[in-house]
């Protein structure tokens, strides 16, 4: 493992994505258990993407009192149906939410609800369950959640908003194997905003694969700007970026 820092951001680089996932899960489980010694419940915000697979699998192997965890997630497509496998809520349901005994799970999707109403409802949920921990990735265009560069605001007044997805973001969903073609990828989504995520005490950012190498390099070495939304992580007081050799190839 190689370790480095840029501004306030801690960066850990592992040989493989499996090692990355295992190490991030160990760090996350340790922090969750430390937090549960100080408070009765912990509110965790989850990302949904194949980049999180190894991490989420490894996290379930640790002794965590899941019955004290309230789970939330950070974004969701507009236009998909309740049982569509591509929905992020369904991904998390399959990967972890149905596999551990959580205190509560709060999904963004509401059947037949207007996107504006989903945003309002979820903002109220965030007020009730302030985020302690974020598990996130970084998109190929540098996005965090669905805050693509053209809609990312570091001082966004909202907690949850409707966004139009850019072409790079939608192509990534095809590269990840989630959709057969870009025409199948919804053009709109609801997402937590950058300030809503940056309020968290602790952020674990899990980013494997060569397809993320440019975004990782820009996050770490570029300017802190909404042109690379993930660059804001360098200003957070407790964020760790976990990379493998492929995603960190322009850092080492």
Q: What is the pLDDT of residues 192-203, one digit of tens each?
A: 999 999 999 999
Burial 181-207 (b: 16+ CB within 10 A, else e): eeeebbeebbbbbbebbbbbbbbbbbb
Report d(CA 142, CA 19) in Å as an integer.
Answer: 23
With residue 90 as reference, give the H or E element that holds it. helix 88-92
With residue 33 as reference, give the H or E element that holds it. helix 17-36
Report d(CA 143, CA 137) in Å as an integer.
Answer: 9
Q: What is the pLDDT of residues 36-93, one digit of tens each?
A: 999 999 999 999 999 999 999 999 999 999 999 999 999 999 988 888 899 999 999 9
With residue 124 as reference, give the H or E element that holds it. helix 115-128
Residue 79, SS3 per DSSP: coil
Task: Look at residue 176 in the predicted model and tell me its pLDDT.
Answer: 82
List the one residue out of 30, 56, 78 whose CA is nearest residue 186: 78
Rounded mean pLDDT of the chain?
96
Q: Please calculate the CA angle 163-70-118 and round it to the nearest 5 degrees.
A: 30
Task: Look at residue 137 in the predicted model and tell me its pLDDT.
Answer: 98
Task: Look at residue 66 in the predicted model and tell me its pLDDT.
Answer: 98
178 — pLDDT class (breaks 50, 70, 90): confident
Q: Please calculate the CA angle 30-32-35 and round it to the nearest 5 degrees.
A: 110
With residue 216 as reference, give the H or E element that holds it. helix 213-221
Report d(CA 156, CA 16) in Å as an integer.
Answer: 36
Report d(CA 229, CA 147) in Å as an integer.
Answer: 7
Residue 172, SS3 per DSSP: helix
pLDDT over 80 at 252, yes or no: no
Residue 61, SS3 per DSSP: coil
DSSP E strand boundaries for 32-89: 42-46, 69-73, 75-77
Stretch among 6-10, 91-95, 184-188, 215-219 having the lowest mean pLDDT? 184-188
Report d(CA 229, CA 238) in Å as an integer.
Answer: 17
Tokens of 12: 């850990």
Tokens of 143: 């996005």
């Amino acid at each position: 493992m190689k370790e480095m820092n840029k501004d306030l951001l801690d960066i850990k680089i592992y040989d493989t994505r499996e090692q990355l996932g295992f190490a991030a899960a160990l760090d996350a489980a340790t922090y969750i258990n430390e937090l549960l010694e100080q408070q009765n419940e912990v509110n965790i915000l989850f990302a949904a993407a194949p980049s999180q697979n190894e991490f989420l699998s490894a996290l379930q192997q640790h002794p965590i009192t899941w019955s004290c965890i309230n789970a939330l997630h950070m974004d969701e497509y507009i236009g998909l149906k309740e049982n569509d496998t591509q929905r992020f809520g369904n991904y998390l349901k399959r990967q972890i939410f149905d596999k551990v005994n959580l205190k509560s799970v709060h999904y963004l999707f509401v059947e037949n609800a207007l996107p504006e109403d989903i945003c309002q409802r979820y903002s109220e949920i965030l007020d009730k369950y302030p985020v302690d921990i974020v598990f996130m990735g970084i998109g190929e265009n540098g996005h965090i959640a669905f805050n693509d560069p053209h809609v990312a605001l570091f001082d966004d007044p909202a907690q949850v908003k409707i966004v139009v997805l850019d072409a790079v973001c939608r192509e990534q969903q095809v590269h990840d194997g989630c959709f057969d073609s870009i025409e199948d990828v919804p053009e709109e989504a609801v997402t937590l905003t950058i300030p809503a995520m940056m309020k968290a005490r602790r952020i674990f950012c899990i980013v494997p694969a060569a397809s993320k190498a440019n975004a990782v390099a820009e996050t770490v070495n570029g300017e802190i700007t909404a042109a690379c939304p993930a660059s804001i992580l360098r200003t957070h007081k407790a964020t760790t970026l976990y990379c493998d050799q492929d995603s960190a190839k322009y850092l080492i």
